[in-house]
């Protein structure tokens, strides 16, 4: 990219078929990137993916709600040039100034949809799609979903089942898929917690005469996974996460598993598990002063940064922390999950999914346009 091109604001050629022209400003965290793609795919409009290279030392623009490109390396980033988009979908604090700069070049006509927690106030966006853990106040431009957006669809699950069912054919049913996350805020997935969860799911499989399908993730500590593995005595398939692995069985486990157990530190993994429509059990982690499941006696593995995060939650500004227990409580109230060890009682009421609600709100931005 050869730098800012503010002199070309007049270029507003429509996208193919008259649909809005959409840019996705890719986020720097995998979960946020997945949410951006999920929304774009569900909208069904053509889109361009813009990858940015960030300057780690540049925070002035973000902190002071700027509108420029000082936070990115222009030569290493996707080109930002006319025709300007009608819609920008993004996430992450460092992308906010870029989105505002794009809108300025388009003469203020570009709509900005931000996913997750924004740094600027909601008035600086056309729509913010968020979840309870960020504790955003009610606002006309904020959509409060119960769970995060995701790319789990019936078609994708069916394809994953076709591929992975033969791989798991020798494992007796029911098959219990166990998805392990990792450290998050005041919560630690250490050897104690991992061993405790392993004993629970191992007993669960024994009682049912079944087996386990276990997957770690990018955040799963090696010591925790080893402690988990030592407690397993039932038939088990265990996958150790590897980056950029085309043979990652994650979606296969969601598709083939009869019941799903997810460590409750990951809102995105809980959301994806709930999208399967199967029984989902949350495995609680202990936390300093903020236990996920009060009175459950979850093992607490010491981690200094977990302790300091709990102090931040107690004494710091709310915008600097999140409380994932609020998502857990919402999912429990809606009957979409149960705690590991409790009976799963699915809700009977149904309505639009979180993704459907988000798609409808984005489409409204254009249906009401003059």
For residue 6, the model assigns a pLDDT of: 37
Rounded Cα distance, 211 and 209, in Å: 7
Q: List the one residue out of 102, 108, 86 whose CA is nearest residue 20.
A: 86
Instruction: Give the chain's domain count.
Output: 2
Q: Please indicate, yes or no, if residue 186 is contained in any of the structural domains.
A: yes
Q: In what order do the strands lie in the sheet with 338-339?
A: 236-239, 211-215, 175-179, 259-263, 280-283, 338-339
Rounded Cα distance, 346 and 70, in Å: 49
- Within this chain, do residues 113 and 199 fall inside the same structural domain, yes or no? no
Mean pLDDT of 168-175: 96
- For the stretch 55-111, pLDDT in tens is 776 555 555 556 777 777 888 888 999 999 999 999 988 899 999 999 999 999 999
Q: Please indicate, yes or no, if residue 140 is contained in any of the structural domains.
A: no
- Within this chain, do residues 212 and 82 fall inside the same structural domain, yes or no? no
- Within this chain, do residues 192 and 97 fall inside the same structural domain, yes or no? no
- Within this chain, do residues 89 and 160 fall inside the same structural domain, yes or no? no
Last residue of a domain, one of 130, 163, 185: 130
Last residue of a domain, one of 130, 146, 167: 130
For residue 4, the model assigns a pLDDT of: 38
- Within this chain, do residues 39 and 103 fall inside the same structural domain, yes or no? yes
Positive or negative, the CA dihedral 226, 230, 231, 235 is: positive
Domain assignment of residue 231, given as a range:
155-347
**SS3 track for the chain:** CCCCCHHHCCCCCCCHHHCCCEEEECCCCHHHHHHHHHHHHHHCCCEEEECCCECCCCCHHHHCCCCCCCCECHHHCCCCCCCCCCEEEEECHHHHHHHHHHHHHCCCCCEEEEECCCCCCHHHCCEEEECHHHCCCCCCCEEECCCCCCCCCHHHHHHHHHHHCCCCCCCCCCEEEEECCCCECCECCCHHHHHHHHHHHHHHHHHHCCEEEEECCCCCCHHHHHHHHHCCCCCEEEECCCCCCCCCCHHHHHHHCCEEEEECCCHHHHHHHHCCCCCEEEECCCECCCCCCCCCCCCCCCCHHHHHHHHHHHHCCHHHCCCCHHHHHHHHHCCCCEECCCCCCCCCCCCCCHHHHHHHHHHHHHHCCC
Q: For residue 9, is pLDDT > 80?
A: no
- Within this chain, do residues 26 and 112 fall inside the same structural domain, yes or no? yes
Share above pLDDT 90 across residues of the chain, in percent, rounded to a whole number: 69
Collect all residues with Cβ–Cβ distance below 8 Å to 327 and sequence separation of at least 6.
131, 132, 133, 146, 147, 267, 270
Q: For residue 251, is pLDDT > 90?
A: yes
Across the chain, what does the average pLDDT equal?
88
Q: List the one residue out of 145, 153, 199, 210 whose CA is nearest residue 177.
A: 210
φ/ψ of 142, rounded to 5, equals -115, 125
Of the pLDDT bands very low, low, confident and very high (cuts 50, 70, 90), residue 369 is: low
For residue 68, the model assigns a pLDDT of: 72
The pTM score is: 0.86
Assigned token pair, 37: 């793609």
Q: Please indicate, yes or no, if residue 146 is contained in any of the structural domains.
A: no
Mean pLDDT is lowest, of 45-49, 296-300, 303-307, for 296-300
Mean pLDDT of 234-255: 95
CATH number at residue 327: 3.40.50
Q: Please indicate, yes or no, if residue 361 is contained in any of the structural domains.
A: no
- Within this chain, do residues 188 and 122 fall inside the same structural domain, yes or no? no
Mean pLDDT of 48-59: 79
Q: Please indicate, yes or no, if residue 198 is contained in any of the structural domains.
A: yes
Collect all residues with Cβ–Cβ distance below 8 Å to 44 and sequence separation of at least 6.
none
Q: For residue 344, is pLDDT > 70?
A: yes
Give strand pairing partners of 127. 113
- For the stretch 175-215, pLDDT in tens is 999 999 999 999 999 999 999 999 999 999 999 999 999 99
For residue 200, the model assigns a pLDDT of: 96
Q: Please indicate, yes or no, if residue 118 is contained in any of the structural domains.
A: yes
Rounded Cα distance, 22 and 124, in Å: 19
Q: For residue 2, is pLDDT > 80?
A: no
Q: Please indicate, yes or no, if residue 182 is contained in any of the structural domains.
A: yes
- Within this chain, do residues 72 and 16 fall inside the same structural domain, yes or no? yes
- Within this chain, do residues 110 and 175 fall inside the same structural domain, yes or no? no
- Within this chain, do residues 232 and 177 fall inside the same structural domain, yes or no? yes
Q: For residue 159, is pLDDT > 90?
A: yes
Q: For residue 130, is pLDDT > 90?
A: yes
Highest mean pLDDT among 6-10, 143-147, 307-311, 365-369: 143-147
Q: Please indicate, yes or no, if residue 192 is contained in any of the structural domains.
A: yes
- Within this chain, do residues 178 and 72 fall inside the same structural domain, yes or no? no
Mean pLDDT is lowest, of 212-216, 243-247, 287-291, for 287-291
- Within this chain, do residues 234 and 271 fall inside the same structural domain, yes or no? yes
Mean pLDDT of 147-174: 95
């Amino acid at each position: 990219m050869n730098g800012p091109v503010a002199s070309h604001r007049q270029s507003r050629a429509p996208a193919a078929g008259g649909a809005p022209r959409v840019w996705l400003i890719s986020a720097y965290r995998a979960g946020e990137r997945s949410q951006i793609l999920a929304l774009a795919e569900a909208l069904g409009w053509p889109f361009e993916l813009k990858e940015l290279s960030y300057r780690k030392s540049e925070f002035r623009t973000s902190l002071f709600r700027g509108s420029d490109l000082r936070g990115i390396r222009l030569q290493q980033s996707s080109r930002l040039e006319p025709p300007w988009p009608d819609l920008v979908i993004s996430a992450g604090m460092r992308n906010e100034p870029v989105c505002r700069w794009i809108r300025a070049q388009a003469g203020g006509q570009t709509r900005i949809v931000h996913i997750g927690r924004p740094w600027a106030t909601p008035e600086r966006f056309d729509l913010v799609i968020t979840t309870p853990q960020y504790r955003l106040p009610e606002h006309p431009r904020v959509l409060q979903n119960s769970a995060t957006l995701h790319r789990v669809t019936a078609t994708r699950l069916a394809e994953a089942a076709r591929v992975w069912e033969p791989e798991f054919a020798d494992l007796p049913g029911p098959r219990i898929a166990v998805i392990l996350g990792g450290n998050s805020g005041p919560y630690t997935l250490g050897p104690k917690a991992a061993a405790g969860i392993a004993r629970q799911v191992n007993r669960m499989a024994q009682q049912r005469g079944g087996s386990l399908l276990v997957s770690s993730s990018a955040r799963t500590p090696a010591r925790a996974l080893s402690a988990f593995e030592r407690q397993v005595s039932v038939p088990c398939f265990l996958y150790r996460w590897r980056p950029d692995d085309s043979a990652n069985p994650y979606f296969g486990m969601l598709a083939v598993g009869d019941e799903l157990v997810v460590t409750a530190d990951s809102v995105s993994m809980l959301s994806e598990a709930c999208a399967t429509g199967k029984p989902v059990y949350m495995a609680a982690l202990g936390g300093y002063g903020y236990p996920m499941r009060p009175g459950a006696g979850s093992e607490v593995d010491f981690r200094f940064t977990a302790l300091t995060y709990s102090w931040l939650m107690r004494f710091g500004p709310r915008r600097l922390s999140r409380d994932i227990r609020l998502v857990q409580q919402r999912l429990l109230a809606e009957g979409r999950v149960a705690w590991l060890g409790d009976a799963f009682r699915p809700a009977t009421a149904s309505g639009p999914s979180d993704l459907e609600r988000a798609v409808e709100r984005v489409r409204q931005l254009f249906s009401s346009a003059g």
